[in-house]
Amino acid sequence: MMEKKNKRGRPTIASNQLLGMRNAWVYLLEENWAEIGWPLICIRNDRSKSLEDIQRALVCLRDKPNGGLAGRLYRNSRQPASTAEIRLSWKSISKLDERILKTEADRGAQERLLREAESALKQTEQLLNGSDVKVKETVILQITKRRDFLTRITENLQKLNKERDAQYTKVLDQESYLFCSELTDYLLESGRYAVKPRPLANALAGLPHMRWRQSHSRCSKMPLDSEPHFHYRTWDTIRKIWNRNHADVVEAPIGFFEASICSLPRKSYMRQFLCKNWRDLRLAIEESWDPQDPRERIPFKITAKFIQNLSPAKNAVESVLAAQEELACP
C-alpha cells in the first residue's frame, strides 16, 4: 500500500478558525444589511466604483456592535499589498515583539541593579559616615554606569516601539487594501456570486490569510445556521411585501403595507411583530419615502429607519401611542 504523501504548500487558516470568522461575518452583515446592502449593490451595478466607495459603503459599521470586524474595510488609508507581503509584515512585527519583550526584561533588570546601587550608597553614608571615600566613590561610579546603561536601554526600547507602531500601521494599511480590493473583485464578478450576507461572509472570512475565491470555496462547504438574523428577516419580509406592488406610487404606500402585513400567514412571527410595531413601521415609511428613489432601494431605506425607530427606549406617551396603533388584522 502506497504511503499517503503530505500536501505541499503554505499552511492556511485552520478550518475551525475560518468557521468562526465566517459565522461572525454572517451575523455582522445580516444585522446591518438594511444599511449596507444597497451601497454594495450599487457597486455591483457600477463598474467604475473605486476602493473609496467600499470604504464609504461600510463606514456605518464603525459604531456597530462587533463593527471592528470590518475595520479594514472602512479604514481611510490603504497600501497595495499581496497576502504574501502581509504575512511578511506580520513576521516583522513578531520579531520586533520578541526584541521588545527582551529589551523590557533587560530594562527591568537594569532598574533593579540601579536601585541596588542607590541603596548601597545610602548604606555607605550611614555606616561609614563618609570616612571611607574610596568605597563611596566606587558606589557612585556604579550608579552612574548603571543609570547611563538604563538610559540607553530605554532609548532603544522607545525606538523599537516606534518602529513597531510604524510597522503595525503599515500592515493595517496593507490589509485594508487587500480587503477592499478583494471585496470589489467579488462584487464585480459579473453577477456570478450573489450580493447577499452569507455569500459575502464566505468570501470575507479568510481575508487577509487567503484570497476571496479560496475563502468562498472553503466556507461554502461549511455548516451554517438555517435561521438568518432577525434584522435581515425583517428586511427580507419588507422587500417581499414591496415587490408585490407593481404600480407607480407617488404617496407613501401606508395602506398598501398595512393590507400586505395582514395578508401574511396568521402564524407568522413576522406578521405578529410588524403588527405590534406598526406605528414605528408607519413612521419609517413616511420619513424615508422618496418617489424618486429606485424601486430596489426602498426596502433598504424603510427597514433601516424602522430598525432605528425600534432601538430607543420609548417614553410613556410613545408606548401608549404604539399600543393604540397596533394592527388588528382579521
**The most confident of 139-143, 193-197, 246-250, 301-305, by mean pLDDT:** 301-305
Q: Kindly report, residue by residue over 167-192, the tens digit of the pLDDT.
A: 999 999 999 999 999 999 999 885 77
The confidence band for 94, taking pLDDT boundaries of 50, 70 and 90, is: very high
Alpha helices in the chain (DSSP H): 15-31, 33-45, 51-58, 83-128, 133-187, 197-204, 212-219, 230-243, 254-262, 269-276, 278-288, 298-310, 316-324
pLDDT at 4 over 60: no
Q: Which residue has the higher pLDDT, 253 or 225?
A: 253
- 194 CB contacts (<8 Å, ≥6 apart)? none
Cα 330 to Cα 314: distance, rounded to the nearest angstrom: 28
| Cβ pair 128, 136 in contact under 8 A | yes
Q: What is the model's pLDDT at position 294?
A: 92
Q: What is the model's pLDDT at position 2?
A: 44
Cα 319 to Cα 133: distance, rounded to the nearest angstrom: 86
pLDDT at 126 over 70: no
pLDDT (average), residues 251-271:
90
Rounded to 5°, the CA angle 181-166-10 comes to 55
pLDDT at 5 over 70: no
pLDDT at 99 over 90: yes
Q: What is the pTM of this model?
A: 0.84
Domain-wise residue ranges, the chain: 15-78+178-219, 83-173, 230-324
Q: What is the model's pLDDT at position 237?
A: 95
Among 122-136, 228-242, 250-264, where is mean pLDDT lowest? 122-136
Among 22-31, 121-130, 272-281, 316-325, where is mean pLDDT lowest? 121-130
Q: What is the DSSP letter of 295?
A: G
Q: What is the model's pLDDT at position 11?
A: 52
Cα 157 to Cα 96: distance, rounded to the nearest angstrom: 10
269 burial via Cβ count (<10 Å: 0-12, 13-18, 19+): exposed
The confidence band for 323, taking pLDDT boundaries of 50, 70 and 90, is: confident
Q: What is the model's pLDDT at position 325?
A: 76
Torsion sign (Cα): 30, 33, 37, 39? negative
Cα 24 to Cα 69: distance, rounded to the nearest angstrom: 8
| Cβ pair 120, 139 in contact under 8 A | yes
Q: What is the model's pLDDT at position 3?
A: 46
Q: What is the model's pLDDT at position 127?
A: 64
The percent of residues in the chain predicted with pLDDT above 90, rounded, is 66
Q: What is the model's pLDDT at position 12?
A: 72
Average pLDDT of the chain?
Answer: 88
pLDDT (average), residues 184-211:
90
Establish whether the linkage from the previous residue to 208 is cis, with ω within 30° of 0: yes
Q: What is the model's pLDDT at position 250?
A: 84
Q: Kindly report, residue by residue over 286-316, the tens digit of the pLDDT.
A: 999 998 999 999 999 999 999 999 877 777 7
Around Cβ 236, how many Cβ atoms within 10 Å? 17
195: region left, alpha or beta (phi > 0 left; psi from -120 to 50 alpha)? beta
